[in-house]
Copies of this chain bind each other. A is one copy, B any other.
Amino acid sequence: MNPKNNPPTMQEIAKRLGVSLSTVSRALKNHPRISEKTKQEVLKIAKEIEYEPNQLALSLLNKRINAIGVVVPQIKYHLYASAISGIEKAANEAGFNIMICQTNELFEREVSIVKELIASRVAGLIVSVASESRDFAHLEQVLRKGIPLVLFNRDCEQLKVPKVVIDNYTAAFQATEKLIESGCENIAFLAGPPQVQISNKRLTGYKSALRKHHLQIDYDLIIHCEFSQENAANATLKLLRSRQQPDAILAFSDQMAIGAMLSVKEAGLKIPEDISIIGFNNEPVDLLLEPKLSSVDQPGFEMGQIATQLLLNQLEENYEELNPPKKVLATKLVVRESLRF
């Protein structure tokens, strides 16, 4: 009716009906002490003027908004897109909205985003830290303020909070073992930057598998590089020129595996005949590559759901967890054409 006007308030209803604010409030909440007649009248006018409760005012009362802050490196990574869907589902079911923010792997950005979210009084935070981040004062402050926090995917050992991660050690162990069983002997590992914990966990799993099968660990075959496809492609070129040419590559991510594939093909080598390749993340694109890329599937959606659950637990009245839980989710190696049998 009144375009460009202020949104209708309960005041409005109260005035029209000649009752008090409290009565309107109670009528809308179906309070038992309010007469049926009054309730009907209030509801009628509310509908008439398209009244919607002002969440802002409610939030001020509750001292927090009805939303969970989600901080991820990049939403375009398949894993995060899935995780966000999982978070969204679980959060909505519990009546929460989510505020998604991306750090683009930048530490500065992460700090300011977290500050912003705190200032907006989100009910809690679900975070996967930027690869750049090494100082976690901003997250410690979140804890100090008593704001529920859950970390997922990327762990961060100094922070004592609930976490959901995948079993990176076992995942890499199994993938490596699979390569060994299929006859590979010189398995390269294309790792992420050396400060990234999940990369290091995988590296450990990789080494353990080699040891278990009495294979030499050749440090020329372990290469650290930034996450991009391009960096991986360059690193692979180096690998192919190394003293002992690899007959398999285990890459930290599918993006890196793809980079590796490109370089391998460019060098005139055949996948998987000359070199087998396994990636991580099981991105949809894997199915479209030639050969189809084998990959470690991570339960992103589930990870998001669980992370949310852990956060919701903290929001419970009587929560008092002394030893925050750390859920470790299992992965599944998806074998495709890039693997020789």
Binding site for B on A (CB under 8 A): 3-7, 50, 52-57, 59-60, 63-67, 75-76, 78, 81, 84-85, 88, 97, 99-102, 115-116, 118-121, 141, 143-146, 258, 285, 288-290
Q: Is there contact, CB below 8 Å, between A3 and B290? A: no
- State the copy count for this chain: 2
Known: A146-B4, A285-B288. A56 touches B54 (CB 8 A): no
Interface of A is mostly: mixed
Find out whether the CB atom of B285 lies under 8 angstroms from the CB atom of A119. no
Cβ B145 vs Cβ A7 within 8 A: yes
Say how far A101's CB is from chain B's closest CB, in angstroms.
8
In the assembled complex, the Cα of A52 lies from the Cα of B4 at a distance in Å of 32
A50 to B81, CA, bound (A): 34
Chain B: CB-nearest residue to A99: B99
A53 to B: closest C-beta gap in Å: 7
For residue A258, which residue of chain B has the nearest CB?
B288
User: A265 — nearest CB in chain B belongs to which residue?
Assistant: B290
Measured between alpha carbons, how far is A290 from B289 in the docked complex, in Å? 7
The reply to whether B81 and A76 form a contact with Cβ atoms under 8 Å apart is: yes
Q: How far is the CA of A22 from the CA of B54 in the complex (A)?
A: 26
Nearest CB in chain B to that of A74: its residue: B81
Q: When A6-B63, A81-B76, A102-B88 are in contact, do A54 and B288 touch as well, CB less than 8 Å?
A: no
Question: B3 to A144, Cβ gap below 8 A?
Answer: yes
Q: Can you show 18 pairs from A to B with CB atoms below 8 A apart?
A: A7-B121, A50-B145, A52-B118, A55-B119, A56-B120, A57-B60, A60-B60, A65-B120, A66-B120, A67-B99, A75-B75, A76-B76, A76-B78, A76-B81, A97-B101, A99-B100, A285-B285, A288-B288
